[in-house]
Amino acid sequence: MAKQPILTPQADDFPRWYQDVVAKAELAENGPARGTMVIRPYGYSIWERMQAEEDIRIKEAGAENCAFPLFIPQSYLTREAEHVEGFSPELAMVTHAGGKELDEPLVVRPTSETVIGEYMGKWIQSYRDLPLLLNLWNNVVRWELRPRLFLRTTEFLWQEGHTAHASAEDSNAYAERILRDVYTDFMVNVLAIPVLAGRKTAAERFPGAINTLACEAMMGDGKALQMGTSHDLGQNFSKVFDITYLSDQGSTELCWTTSWGTSTRMVGGLIMAHGDDQGLVVPPALAPIQAVVLLVRDEGGAGDAAASLAAALKGAGVKVRLDAQVATSFGRRATDWELKGVPVRVEVGPRDLAEGLVTLVRRDTGEKWPVGVAEVAGRVPDLLVQIQADMLARATAHRDERTVNATTVEEAIEGAKVGFARVAWDLVKDGGEARLAQDAVTVRCLQTAEGGLPTSEDDPDLIAYLARSY
């Protein structure tokens, strides 16, 4: 009888494969309330690594972390809705508490522009208080109609940045800096996911923003995933919440604000960008466990050797885990670590050890080869660097191979059915987005011909990237 695969093959059913990986790699599972998610320890350790790497970059950009309430008075969002066209988030409301009906319903935080705007208005007095650069790591609630673990859930974890500036030029430059120096740098150099950094069209722009910038990535099935956004909000929220400052000339001026965010959706992106039919593949720069020392059998001094190797790798700066649980079969344990995508396995068995050898295994390629015990601590750090580079190269090649240059909207729609399509924005912008929607295709972002960020949708010779998306 043929051995049944642990996971549904990607080629057979990509969405089912994704669900299999989330479950069998022990990343997350559905919570008790519809659309909620329980993130298991291994999945949360990946999110913690994402947090840590982004947090470093956010602080280097000058923002400071703070905390704001989960509950927001309904009147705050009503004020915003009256001024911001298109504002209609999927809200969850609290109407009763402490055994009685509340005088004013409370909204469970869908995002924090409103409450932060209220306090920015209190804290900012003069130009000396600017820029004010804030970031939050928190949870938010949006009533998703079609939840999917990590990608779209009713409650999810994220970071949201909010800043206030004295000029339009400063706020626009900061929104671009977040996109470039925080999000793009993190996604390319840590997640090993190449992203298109571009401008959203007016139809795809965040309600209330005058400009939305985004990082768009291609998943293994050719669809796009929006990995993060950075919004220049102009003075729209400042008008609503009276965010003003006294200029150095003595006049009262409205601030210019930004907001920007990434979420646990990036875990879903990691799975779909790098995963294969054996499970998750985690890039070494992100991996909470970069190498696992896997004891085959505790015979002939193999147990002591495995412990010594784990200690040596830790001393070499490798995030290492020793697996000496020999009561469980070696094959089962090897498969479990493969499912979890740990970049390197060091397999220690008495037979190889008798010859002074252990076996190194690369998760990304499946390659394995014997290495002298004394060489392991010196070899693995360099191997991790190589794996990181190779994963980015493969993901980039995959994206480029499935990106087509189109000369008509219809040709672009066909290309977007299997990957990305590049087409002149001039061919799309006058009513073309409605035509794309008929085939579930959207403009993911706009770039200049040189791959830069446009200053507006009316810049000449812009390129539109089209795709189907999650």
Q: What is the DSSP string of 366-419?
A: --EEEEEGGGHHHHHHHHHHHHHHHHHHHHHHHHHHTEEE-SSHHHHHHHHTTS
Please give the model's pTM, rounded to 2 decimal places: 0.96
The contacts of residue 13 (CB under 8 Å, 6+ apart) are none
Answer whether residue 225 shows pLDDT above 80.
yes
pLDDT band per the 50, 70, 90 thresholds, residue 1 = very low
Q: What is the pLDDT of residue 79?
A: 84
The 3-class secondary structure across 424-456, one letter per residue, is: EHHHCCCCHHHHHHCCCCEEEEEECCCCCCCCC
Query: CB neighbours (10 Å) of residue 79?
Result: 16
Answer whether residue 403 shows pLDDT above 80.
yes
Tens digit of each residue's pLDDT (9 = 90 or more) over 228-261: 999 999 999 999 999 999 999 999 999 999 999 9
| CA–CA dist 183, 233 (Å, integer) | 18
Residues 166-173, mean pLDDT to the nearest whole number: 98
| CA–CA dist 223, 247 (Å, integer) | 47
Answer whether residue 132 shows pLDDT above 70.
yes
The number of CA neighbours under 13 Å toward the Cβ of 272 is 28
Residues 413-420, mean pLDDT to the nearest whole number: 97
What share of the chain has pLDDT > 90, as a percent? 93
Answer whether residue 3 shows pLDDT above 70.
no
Answer whether residue 210 shows pLDDT above 80.
yes
Tens digit of each residue's pLDDT (9 = 90 or more) over 283-317: 999 999 999 999 999 999 999 999 999 999 999 99
Nearest to 124 by CA among 261, 260, 257: 257
Answer whether residue 320 shows pLDDT above 80.
yes
Nearest to 217 by CA among 290, 135, 274: 274
Q: Strand pairing partners for 140?
A: 156
Helix (H, G, I), strand (E, B) or coil at 100: strand
φ/ψ of residue 134, rounded to 5: -120, 150
Assigned token pair, 399: 């994206």
Q: What is the pLDDT of residue 415?
A: 97
Q: What is the pLDDT of residue 80?
A: 74
Q: What is the pLDDT of residue 78?
A: 85
Q: Which of 78-92, 106-120, 347-361 has the lowest mean pLDDT?
A: 78-92
| CA–CA dist 379, 396 (Å, integer) | 26
Answer whether residue 66 shows pLDDT above 60.
yes
Tens digit of each residue's pLDDT (9 = 90 or more) over 70-99: 999 999 988 877 655 555 557 899 999 999
| CA–CA dist 344, 341 (Å, integer) | 9
The continuous run of DSSP H or E covering 95 comes out as strand 92-97
φ/ψ of residue 216, rounded to 5: -115, 130
Q: What is the pLDDT of residue 2?
A: 46
CA torsion, ordered 398, 404, 405, 408, to nearest 10 deg:
-160
DSSP-assigned letter for residue 250: S
Tens digit of each residue's pLDDT (9 = 90 or more) over 178-201: 999 999 999 999 999 999 999 999
Q: What is the pLDDT of residue 301?
A: 95
Residues 218-236, mean pLDDT to the nearest whole number: 97
User: Are the CB atoms for 28 and 38 separated by under 8 Å?
Assistant: yes
Q: Which domains does the chain have, with CATH numbers?
A: 14-274 (3.30.930.10), 291-386 (3.40.50.800), 403-467 (3.30.110)
